Every structure is written in structure tokens, then in C-alpha cells.
Amino acid sequence: MTIWHDLLGLEFQVKHVDAKGIKTRALIAGEGEDVIMMHGTSGHMEAFTRNIRSHVEAGFKCHSIDALGHGFTDKPDYNFEIHRYVEHVINYMDAMGIEKAHLAGESLGGWTAAILTLNHPERVRSLQLIAAGGTKANPAIMERLIKSTTAAVMEDDIDLTRKRLQLLMHDAADATEELVQTRYVIYHQPEFQKNLHNLLCLQNMEIRQRNMMTSEQLNKIKTPTLIVWGRNNPFGEVPEADKMHADIEGSRLELFDECGHWPQHERPELYNPLAIAFLKENSGK
């Protein structure tokens, strides 16, 4: 299956929304309560294409967005720290007239979604933390992310993009050739290359430390929360998910076998029914 096969026959639009001066690419489909889907570091909205159809058929309106400085969203010249990502999502919600949404964030997207929930609980119906970052600072992982991303972005070798995507997956076949081609085009935009240092700033230890989520912060989240984690996640082991689950009172943790850092993409047959049941449990709140 490819991205377009995933969406074949479904009514959707890809548009650029003016989020308070930041032109933001979004794939929007369906009617109902809004679900905002947020990808990880150096990712893009196509990370959720295997999830949109089932959510639309279940009666939800999906917004899969390119984060600040990512994909085909604008790339202003400043460090993309977490408060910037949160501000961008709030501005997107305001621009789209969304008072309150369900948030589903993977990796960096989960980190952003959790801080947004802490700072603006009145704007969030439910929270999904999918292999979410933001609670650990592992120098080896940070270095691997910097090196692999920089090589894939700055060198004209599509195999480096392929290897960067395959890093995320338990089964390399899930880094489909269409995804590789899409990411290669995104990575080789002049503005993407020029602002890569801003996108990777959270891999700088000093900057990362001041953005990280503490247990005390997570203790304050009262929004219904679902945590999803791959048992083979190369960027965070299961105890990291266990800790997040223990820190967020009332949260639910689901572990997927044979799954890396993109559970929603790698195991859609598990993720989609789980997420939709969770959204329905928390509809109208």
C-alpha cells in the first residue's frame, strides 16, 4: 500500500493554513470532533496516512499537520523549542476555529501535545502519546539523530534518506519507497537545509534539558491519556513508557510487539481500533 492507496476514494484536502503568519501544510478529512495528528522530529504529515481513513469512517475530523519548520510548513529562523511548537499548534487551532481537539502526537509530536495539554488543558479533549519524547536525554540517541538526519538532508544521496527512515521501523519494509521519495524531496528544499540547525536544536543537551518534561509536570495532566509504545522502539525503551504511565494518573499504556518508533504506521491494525475506541470514550468532553 502507498500513501495515495491509503487515501484512495476518501474526500480530503491538502491546504496551507495561515497559523498567525506561519503557512502550515495540513491534510484535512472527515467531519466531527477534531483530531490533530502530530509527527516527530524531521517528520511530516504523511506519517499518519495509514490512520486517516478509519478515523474518518468512525466520525472524526482529522488534521495531520506539518509541524513548525517541518515538511512544507514555514521555517522561520529561530530555534524550534517546545514552546514554539505549542504556540504553532494553538495558532493553527485558532485559524481553523477549533476550540477544543483530541491530540495524537508521535515522538516530538507527543512531547508538544503533552506540554500543550499542561499549559492549555481547556483546549484538549484527550491526549495520545505515541512513542513520545521529552522525558529522557540520552546523548548516544541524540548524536545518532543529529548525524543521520544531517547526512540525509545535506547530502544528495537518497539512500541516506532511506536509512534515516528505516531507523524508525522494526521492519525496514515499512519505510516504503513512496515515503522515502517524499521525505527526500522535503529534506532537499533549500529552506529545510538552511534551517536544519533550528529543527535539531532539541538534540543540543543544554537546550533539551530546559525543554524536558518532569514527573511533577506529568503528574498535573488530568486529561484522558493513552500511551502507545513499540517494544522495539530504537529511541526509547519500554521502561520510559512505564515511567510516563506511572506519572500520568489514570493513563492507559499499550505496548505493541514487533514495532519500532512509528506505532501508528507500523501497526495500524492495532493502533486504529485502539485509538478510535479511546476517542469515542472521550468524545464530548
Which fold, 3-281?
Rossmann fold (3.40.50)
Amino acid present at 66: D
Rounded CA gap, 108 and 66, in Å?
A: 12
**pLDDT confidence of 2, banded at 50, 70, 90?**
low
User: What pLDDT digit, counting tens, does each position of 121-146 carry?
Assistant: 999 999 999 999 999 999 999 999 99
User: What pLDDT digit, counting tens, does each position of 73-90 carry?
Assistant: 999 999 999 999 999 999
pTM of the predicted model as reported, rounded to 2 decimal places: 0.96
Q: How is the chain split into domains, by residue range?
A: 3-281
Give me the DSSP letters along 61-130: EEEEEPPTTSTTS---SS---HHHHHHHHHHHHHHTT-SSEEEEEETHHHHHHHHHHHH-GGGEEEEEEE
SS3 199: helix
Q: CA torsion 226→232→237→242, rounded to 10°?
A: 30
* Contacting residues for 151 by C-beta, under 8 A, at least 6 apart: 160, 164
